[in-house]
Structure 1
Amino acid sequence: MAHADIGGSGIEAGVLDLLQRERDKSLSDREWKFRLAGYGYAIKDVKGARIVTKLPQGHELGVLPTHLD
């Protein structure tokens, strides 16, 4: 499994836009994660950082930016 670069984002702009749009529509963190799963993405906690992953393989895309945390 690939490991995310904890120092930088590395997430494509289109994915970041999707994350932001769905975050704005969600009333809670749990709802946001549920909505992301419908698009094939997940967020997991690794060593204190939140990592965006691609489902179902769990391929790590990068660190979730702090403004979305």
Structure 2
Amino acid sequence: MEHVLISDTLLDAPLLDFLRDERKKALSAREWKFRLAGYGYGIREDNGRCIVTQLRDGATLGLLPVNFH
């Protein structure tokens, strides 16, 4: 498994709102990740942090806030 240095950049507000809205619609974290994949986003966990990525090219978009629900 390859480790990549990730900056501590938080996501921009519109994307964070989108992720939060999709999480409210989902019954579980697994369903939420499946829904995000349909929009081309992925959630990867690394050292207890949740990193949002683009599935198309694997680009890192930023970190989810610790208190994200």
Which amino acid is the alignment partner of residue 24 of structure 1? K
Q: TM-score, normalised by structure 1?
A: 0.82
Distance 1:42 1:33, change over 3 A: same
Q: TM-score, normalised by structure 2?
A: 0.82
> How far off is 1:37 after superposition?
0.6
- Structure 2 alignment gaps of length 5 or more: none
- Structure 1 alignment gaps of length 5 or more: none
Identity among equivalent positions (%) equals 48
Q: Aligned residue for 2:12?
A: 12
Larger Rg: 2
Higher normalized helix content (fraction of residues): 1
Q: Deviations over 1:14-62 (max 9, x none)?
A: 1111100000001000000000011110000112211000112110111
Q: State the Cα RMSD in Å.
A: 1.7
